Amino acid sequence: MYRYLLCVTFFLSPAVLAQAPYPQGQIYRIVGPVVDFPTQAVSLSVAVIGTPFRLHYRSGGGDRMWSWSVHHAYDPAGEMLSLGDGRWKSASPLFRQWATNATASSEYGSQDYSAKQAGGKPDTFTHSDAKSAWAPKSQDGTTEWLELTYERAVKPAAINVRETFNPGFVTKVESYNAERAQWFVLWQGKDPTTKESVVFSPPLSKATFATKRIRLTIDTNVPGWNEIDAVELVAQSPPWLSAGEMAIVAPSGSKVYVFNNGGRHLRTLNAFTRALLWRFAYNSAGALVAIEDGFGNVTRIERNANGVATVVIAPYGQRTILSTGADGYLAGITNPAGETMSFT
Ligand SMILES: [Ca+2]
Ligand SMILES: [Ca+2]
């Protein structure tokens, strides 16, 4: 990384870099490069001409990536939000909860493999016999139940059961109606979960009451030990959130990021008005290719055959060219006025 840093050559004087005007009357500034000492990463932040956002470039730790100041990612398994500059922060989706407590008809151990191992966030990430998941006392031949308690009572839209060992064993899902003191069947049938699909999300009958207790019935006759890592309760969503989407409040509290279930950033909304601030488009490989603002202005990102960003085209046509060397590192940036900052 030091080789890269020390060989940076500015073709423009620092004064020009700091003040060069461009067609939209904004200031073209390149900040950095700077070295992030803990990771030895080189990072560079560029205000992209004709757009209101910054582009971050990072190389280090085997990682060479561009990111946009308005663009985020979400890791649903670890519940971590990418802040867009290489840092990650713990963040839980709105309208979704992991169980705060769990009890069962039986458990293989009082700590390891106990019912409480099915509470909390996922912590079992491979198909395996894991002490961080609940296992009933018997390997086969019994009918068992697992009851989960959640912090907030909601009308369930989905129940996501992480079956992390010998899956396909859930036969019934129920929710507890506290007012009537009775269980309501949300789903009953054949569980199609495989060790590849892991998560069982049965189609639910529409509950008209809110609940904070969910009960699963399990048939241990599916061969081998049958284990559950965690169970997520998803509430019925507001109109601005579609099925298969999740919402995360920005650390500042002023914005809401909407992601698909895979953690791809779909749009950003004003947290108070729900007005659209940004909408993101992707190519078939899943790489970001366009950013649209709330007024319909579109910034496009062109990519080469390897998916590397090569040009950023602002809504009024200004082109910022990004060139990459044969070694895969950033080689230069050319602004719409034809001025180049090179890294050799
Ligand atoms: Ca079994
Ligand atoms: Ca677990």
For the stretch 299-326, pLDDT in tens is 999 998 888 889 999 999 999 998 888 7
User: Which among 247, 245, 171 has a CA at the least distance from the CA of 202?
Assistant: 171
pLDDT at 12 exceeding the cut of 70:
no
Lowest mean pLDDT among 32-41, 64-73, 167-176, 248-257: 32-41
Q: Which listed ligand is nearest to 133 at the C-alpha?
A: 2
Q: How confident is the model at residue 344 (pLDDT cuts 50, 70, 90)?
A: low
CA angle 155, 256, 260 (to 5 degrees): 70
Tell me how far the alpha carbon of residue 167 lies from the centroid of ligand 2, in angstroms. Answer: 15
pLDDT band at 63 (very low <50, low <70, confident <90, very high): low
| Predicted pLDDT at 36 | 42
Cα-flanking dihedrals φ and ψ of residue 319, to 5°? -110, 125
| Ligand in closest contact with the CA of 117 | 2
Tell me the pLDDT tens digit for each residue of 187-238: 999 999 999 999 999 999 988 899 999 999 999 999 999 999 999 999 988 8
Distance 140 CA to ligand 1 centre (A): 4
pLDDT of residue 210: 95
Residue 323, token pair as written in the block: 């060139």
Q: Rounded to whole angstroms, how far apart are CA atoms 19 and 1?
A: 28
As residues whose CB is below 5 A from the ion ligand 2, the structure lists: 117, 123, 132, 229-230
Q: Contact, 172 vs 217, CB < 8 A? A: yes
- C-alpha 167 – ligand 1 centre gap (Å): 9
The closest ligand to the CA of 163 turns out to be 2
Spacing, Cα 166 to ligand 1 middle (Å): 7
CA torsion, ordered 319, 325, 331, 334, to nearest 10 deg:
-20
Residue 152 has, within 13 A of its CA and on its CB side, a CA count of: 13
CA of 32 to the centre of ligand 1 (A): 58
> Which ligand has the nearest atom to the CA of 167?
1
* 77: CB partners within 8 A, 6+ apart: 122, 125
16 SS3 class? helix
Residues whose CB is less than 8 angstroms from the CB of residue 145 and which lie 6 or more positions away in sequence, other chains included: 104, 105, 215, 216, 217, 218
Tally of CB atoms within 10 A around 340? 15
Average pLDDT, the chain: 85
Other residues' Cβ atoms within 10 Å of the Cβ of residue 234: 19
Instruction: Confirm whether pTM is higher than 0.95.
Output: no
Distance CA 95, CA 14 (A): 49
* Residue 15, pLDDT above cutoff 70: no
**Sign of the Cα pseudo-torsion (211, 213, 214, 216, in order):** negative
Ligand 1 center from residue 165 Cα (angstroms):
10
CB 259 within 8 A of CB 246: yes
How is 101-127 classified by DSSP, letter by letter? EEEES--S-SSTT-GGGGSSS----SS
Q: Which ligand is nearest to the CA of 165?
A: 1
Question: What does the DSSP 8-state code read for residue 208?
Answer: S
Cα atoms in the 13 Å half-sphere on the side-chain side of 112: 3
Ligand that comes closest to the CA of residue 143 = 1
Residue 222: nearest ligand to its CA? 1
113 CA → ligand 2 middle, Å: 9
Residues 149/101, Cβ–Cβ less than 8 Å: yes
Ligand 2 centroid distance, CA of 130 (Å): 9
Q: How far is the CA of 184 from the centre of ligand 1 (A)?
A: 26
